[in-house]
Structure 1
């Protein structure tokens, strides 16, 4: 008897837990002894923030606090978090950190917020769990989609179904986010702000008071400017301007240094005259208003092995003269330089093993930051670096004021860098000077060690008898996440001269390898044992069919990056509100005209004509109307969506997410045939979409089911034969079958497969409605409107008064750009991105574009764009070579980055 797939809120809640970032919580063990305000410091600003949070009648429900690095923002956030927790009003916290891979992106933000809110309310938890169980790929979608699904919708449900008291009285309403600037990628920072504004601030039913702290970087600065969308909506505290930290820093130094003195074994430190007023004033001056400097001094002086009097005297001899105060972090750099230099001297004096101290520190730092994957535990890292197990203790002996060790869970020991500014110091040659170690040198060092360890493993296992229990002695002790880089060996080797050793050894170690070469050892690993084991899983005798297991396999086979609202496709191109109006109306009318005999619409157009923007716009409109069944956006640059391998699974996943019955039938089909995704597209379509829909049609009503199927960029699917297979499969399975309710919209360049299918003798000529975008719709007026709107918007936000003039840009400028675009939206988009560079005047950047515009460009639509790309790249090359004397080949580096991105962009 088949098991029925039930939407299990607890299973969904467990998935949500797995997607959170525990390190980002205000009381996380990973943030042991976090910075916070002393009891009599930052009193005024703390009081102002707490008053605002508790004033639920205030019209501004978002507070943004900006301030320079080291100004004490994180300490304030920690203090406010603890105060809110004590008052029972803390809803959620998220502390970004650029040095922690689990919280240096926005990927886990919404899940972590939802977890904390759901933890405090059983009904919210159930609704959140149900939402995730229905859509297990929710965490791959845009932040706005996640916020609406996991926070807004559950709370709306709570508001509509609560009895007695208002739901806001049941919910802790303070949401705190610290260090937004430490979220990598400014576009993601902007997405966080936009999502909060759209979903929480503009929605009057949401009761939250949101407090965000950040350095005044572009994303938050532009949003808070007079023309920014948060200017009216947010209460803004500029910490560095509004509050002088000098007296607070002075109080902290007095209290902490006297406390250190009382606990010292040096009688000089017990004196009530230590430290002197002159010493405190000197340190305060050197701090330049930065709490981080004072915190570093206190940690350095508190070393229990030395006299605090002597340690403080060392600090004072390092304190720069008054004329250096023009550089607020010169003092901090000077302090870091001396601490690191002193530690280097001590290490090299007491260790004769020949290890390079600075190189090891740099490797530890980059490992901690996740440069080469998940950071291993310290003893594992020492083993990898060929150091003794407790090597970190000697390495960090004199760096305890900057780096410590923490045990976040299960007795795993890891590094903890107290301040981001120390990371910044190590990363910048102009700051670290002679102590700087380039990342490339660390990369080469780690790569050499990795190859040596791999060679040792291969040599030790290649001659073993074949057995699934064979494990390499050194690597078997590493957790799976750390072995991943060894296990995942692809099929494209880096061949060198080699000897052949044929073996069936250790398939468990190289689980997906077919061939690889390492220093004269050529191994061909057979996977027959593993394959036979996998085959047996689908044998009828293996056990009862479980649709739930089948559905999980289907989810794993889908391509989340291909969804219209994928987080990977943040800020995708789409049509401005008054552009492409005719085309959008025609497509939407066709989709909603279910009586039309042609159930397939093929839109073709040249590269850059705006097909993807139209598809995105249509996707969003269909989703808003509740008729979007599936969307799949191919991309030649993303390995997860540049083939048709995941197409049917992704389509089935989206359709199944809307229907328990469909999910049941799809899950059963996959459970019966786990190898379905290695079969033809037609077989997949028949098994996972046609058959389940036939079942649904016989047993329920299909009239209200989402029926719009959208596929963009078919030409970006590698291999023209696979493109042809996609078209053939849709024709055979969906169009010829009159019982299928779908309206299918495909966009593509007019490449051979779709061109041939649409020809008079082609298989789609009679059954498809064809829009030739470049011929039917003149884009000139639309491009003109986009340029006017976007350039004027850039001008209004600019600090250059010339660009704020209503006469900029001129009619002649816009006309010239439109002519140069040759009907290609991609040209206009490139110009807009170039001009929007916040470091330069938009007026000057536009003038550069105009001087680059060639004449006689009508015959070659992309000659102008190529010319623009060439000039932008040439200009960047000149700037790079003028400011960098490292001898690196700029164009070669750009090419390497491009190719690496092409290979790796889908692996995250």
Structure 2
């Protein structure tokens, strides 16, 4: 190749239409890509393992609606009034998620799918319920298949590199800096027709607020927070599609919830195409096709005659479905998963001619009747419904089916006895997988049914609500017996108890009279178990996963500002905890620290409060081994020393100024929590009562090491006696 320099001596040479491609633009962006990946919800993708059994359209069904949507994706620009958003909506059970999933699969195969996010409120993982993972996930899906040096990929990762906190920003800004601006800035550097065309977002109505499942939250506040998050998602989508250079279409599938319908009507009507799943798309014919195809499989499996079921039977099921594919899918699951392989008999029960006509009962009545009859196939339907309440609660914590069984079973095999005939409603993992995989409900509409007395009836409604009491009963029994009720091996028992102590078992105690039973438990044994079997590294004071958080939570139902009036089980638990830690050679909070804790209602403490209070408990530098015997706090209802401490706390409260609450709140604004500040008043009280123990407030800094000043109470009883004698 010639080395001739054609520009030697040249200057001021204009060059037009120059495009420079940097083959090394991806260098240094690996960390940005990793950061992006950490911020996504992997299980929300249309083809994630979490959705392996998600509903999909049968190959011969929903052709009309799928054809309309595919036509809009490919040729929507040719419409008289082109729009970039398609809202797929319709009543519960009409197949929205199945259609969205099938559309996503087809688009993925054809290279048309830019990204997908399938919200699911029943999923164990928070990531499928929260808005915070949406934009990152869609962005990741878009750039993952692109070449490392693709201009759009590089521009997006540069934005992440420039601002690693982008995923903490509001959704509109995430769309702006991760999708809208990068495409606008790079669209002349590559053939934009090679990009995929559509993002698919399913189950928008199932997106929830970040803390919506915290125990004790007001239901109205939870609903408002949920609606606000859904509105923010829609606002961000509208912002993106309003950009003239934004090339992608967006499909949003949801139930016709008020806040969503209002947004599309009032703010996005001009850019939205609405597809409502009603009779226009002839769901009855599709349901009939689906049922006939599935009955062929059932006949083949059980070697049934070709005449079964009859055409009138199939039509009866179609009529009962009232356009709801979930009804048809649930019928088939019920026939295929019954304890006895007798689908003919089971179908006969579903088609009992004594059933009232759907037109007389409302659109959801056939589905409700189906759920009711399936529940009745359990040998104890009402107890099964109580189990469902617990399963729904426990699933939020990601516990496996084995944990639920050990938590709830009175006898070996009770779970199979109760739930075997209900496998069409709840997925039951195989025995060998139950320690890792949990129960999960096939469809949210079943939980809607259980939660609505007008649909499920008084008996089922009362049973579902009683699930909370069942959970409390089982937790109390386990705490008293230090073991699950059903027989289990020693190793399984130890594994279960390790999971149990890290489960929020105290959350519902304070609303139940059964909480009094905690006054009979062996507190010292549980502290011993937490120290020796679980270990401090697994303790999380902010979530109830430690003895120190139990110490605070057990006080929630006690009268505020009246230490002498603490409930008996609170006295028993707190005195037992302090005694157990002392016997273990730990430092524990002195009377001033307990006074600081009592200045705030136990149910008004923040996460930082829990962490701060935990620092009053510290192990001394002494040998600790599992050979040290567990203490036995059941010998006392509340030990004498703790009773004296309560007397002293009451005396300290009586010395507070009349306006102490206002003054404390003002101090709290400055110091954030009650473990620091306000020392002047506390010193006055100490001086007036002759209290000589130190008050060294906790001041938490993010980078502070774990060494704390010596503000703990002494190990010996004589020190405490001296403290009391000086009052």
TM-score range, shorter chain: 0.5 to 0.7
Match 2:323 to one of 279, 289, 292: 289
Tell me if structure 1 keeps the 8 A contact 2:159–2:178.
yes
Tell me if structure 2 keeps the 8 A contact 1:462–1:505.
no
Tell me if structure 1 keeps the 8 A contact 2:427–2:439.
yes
Distance 2:117 2:434 in 1: 23
Tell me if structure 1 keeps the 8 A contact 2:450–2:461.
yes
Offset at residue 245 of structure 1 (A): 0.5
For 1:187, the equivalent position in structure 2 comes to 228
Match 2:185 to one of 143, 157, 160: 160
Distance 1:508 1:322 in 2: 72
Distance 1:466 1:335 in 2: 50
What secondary structure is seen at the aligned counterpart in 1 of 2:420? coil
Offset at residue 672 of structure 1 (A): 7.4
For 1:329, the equivalent position in structure 2 comes to 364
Does 2:458 align with 1:413?
no
Offset at residue 256 of structure 1 (A): 0.6
Distance 2:587 2:257 in 1: 45
Q: Normalising by structure 2, report the TM-score.
A: 0.61
Offset at residue 95 of structure 1 (A): 1.4
Show the 5 A alignment for 1:573-652.
Answer: 643-644=669-670
Match 2:545 to one of 480, 484, 489: 484
For 2:343, the equivalent position in structure 1 comes to 308
Distance 1:132 1:531 in 2: 45
Match 1:107 to one of 102, 126, 132: 132
Relative to structure 1, the CA distance from residue 393 to residue 14 in structure 2 (aligned partners, 3 Å threshold; closer, same or farther) is farther
Distance 1:280 1:337 in 2: 20
Tell me if structure 1 keeps the 8 A contact 2:320–2:358.
no
Tell me if structure 1 keeps the 8 A contact 2:388–2:467.
no
Distance 1:506 1:133 in 2: 52
Does 2:203 align with 1:176?
no
Does 2:176 align with 1:148?
yes
Cα RMSD (Å): 4.5
What secondary structure is seen at the aligned counterpart in 1 of 2:270? coil
Offset at residue 508 of structure 1 (A): 14
Tell me if structure 2 keeps the 8 A contact 1:470–1:506.
no
Structure 2 unaligned spans of 5+: 1-26, 209-225, 483-500, 502-517, 559-565, 603-612, 623-661, 674-700, 710-727
Show the 5 A alignment for 1:253-264.
Answer: 253-264=291-302
Aligned length: 516
For 1:738, the equivalent position in structure 2 comes to none
Show the 5 A alignment for 1:198-209.
Answer: 198=239, 200-209=240-249
Relative to structure 1, the CA distance from residue 291 to residue 478 in structure 2 (aligned partners, 3 Å threshold; closer, same or farther) is farther
Show the 5 A alignment for 1:775-790.
Answer: none
For 1:397, the equivalent position in structure 2 comes to 420
For 1:22, the equivalent position in structure 2 comes to 42
Tell me if structure 1 keeps the 8 A contact 2:279–2:323.
no
Match 2:285 to one of 244, 247, 256: 247
Tell me if structure 1 keeps the 8 A contact 2:117–2:202.
yes
Tell me if structure 1 keeps the 8 A contact 2:401–2:435.
no
1:768-804 Cα offsets, whole Å, 9 max, x none, are xxxxxxxxxxxxxxxxxxxxxxxxxxxxxxxxxxxxx
| Deviates most, 36-45 or 401-410 | 401-410
For 1:223, the equivalent position in structure 2 comes to 263
For 1:367, the equivalent position in structure 2 comes to 394
Distance 2:343 2:420 in 1: 17
Relative to structure 1, the CA distance from residue 27 to residue 672 in structure 2 (aligned partners, 3 Å threshold; closer, same or farther) is closer
What secondary structure is seen at the aligned counterpart in 1 of 2:388? helix
Relative to structure 1, the CA distance from residue 367 to residue 466 in structure 2 (aligned partners, 3 Å threshold; closer, same or farther) is closer
Distance 1:146 1:507 in 2: 51
For 2:715, the equivalent position in structure 1 comes to none
For 1:84, the equivalent position in structure 2 comes to 107
Does 2:533 align with 1:471?
yes
Show the 5 A alignment for 1:739-888.
Answer: none
Distance 2:429 2:379 in 1: 23
Structure 1 unaligned spans of 5+: 1-6, 348-354, 519-523, 534-635, 648-669, 679-908
Relative to structure 1, the CA distance from residue 276 to residue 479 in structure 2 (aligned partners, 3 Å threshold; closer, same or farther) is farther
Match 2:252 to one of 203, 212, 222: 212
Tell me if structure 1 keeps the 8 A contact 2:587–2:616.
no
What secondary structure is seen at the aligned counterpart in 1 of 2:377? helix
1:819-839 Cα offsets, whole Å, 9 max, x none, are xxxxxxxxxxxxxxxxxxxxx
Tell me if structure 2 keeps the 8 A contact 1:42–1:248.
yes
Tell me if structure 1 keeps the 8 A contact 2:401–2:434.
no
Distance 2:567 2:67 in 1: 67
What secondary structure is seen at the aligned counterpart in 1 of 2:71? helix
For 1:428, the equivalent position in structure 2 comes to 452
For 2:144, the equivalent position in structure 1 comes to 119
Distance 1:12 1:299 in 2: 45
Tell me if structure 2 keeps the 8 A contact 1:320–1:331.
no
Distance 2:410 2:542 in 1: 21
Relative to structure 1, the CA distance from residue 223 to residue 484 in structure 2 (aligned partners, 3 Å threshold; closer, same or farther) is same
Show the 5 A alignment for 1:487-566.
Answer: 488-489=549-550, 491=552, 493=555, 494=558, 495-497=566-568, 498=571, 500-501=575-576, 502-504=579-581, 529=618
Tell me if structure 1 keeps the 8 A contact 2:377–2:422.
no
For 1:733, the equivalent position in structure 2 comes to none
1:134-192 Cα offsets, whole Å, 9 max, x none, are 6555444322233223333xxx33553477523x3453331001122222422222221
Does 2:333 align with 1:299?
yes
Distance 1:389 1:481 in 2: 34
What secondary structure is seen at the aligned counterpart in 2 of 1:317? coil
Offset at residue 479 of structure 1 (A): 12
What secondary structure is seen at the aligned counterpart in 2 of 1:383? helix
Offset at residue 331 of structure 1 (A): 0.9
Offset at residue 47 of structure 1 (A): 1.2
For 1:446, the equivalent position in structure 2 comes to 471
Offset at residue 480 of structure 1 (A): 11
Relative to structure 1, the CA distance from residue 435 to residue 43 in structure 2 (aligned partners, 3 Å threshold; closer, same or farther) is same
Does 2:272 align with 1:234?
yes
For 2:58, the equivalent position in structure 1 comes to 38
Match 1:437 to one of 448, 462, 480: 462
Offset at residue 212 of structure 1 (A): 1.0
Tell me if structure 2 keeps the 8 A contact 1:15–1:136.
yes
Offset at residue 468 of structure 1 (A): 9.4
1:743-791 Cα offsets, whole Å, 9 max, x none, are xxxxxxxxxxxxxxxxxxxxxxxxxxxxxxxxxxxxxxxxxxxxxxxxx
Offset at residue 318 of structure 1 (A): 6.7
What secondary structure is seen at the aligned counterpart in 2 of 1:88? coil
Tell me if structure 2 keeps the 8 A contact 1:296–1:401.
yes
For 1:800, the equivalent position in structure 2 comes to none
Distance 1:110 1:512 in 2: 46
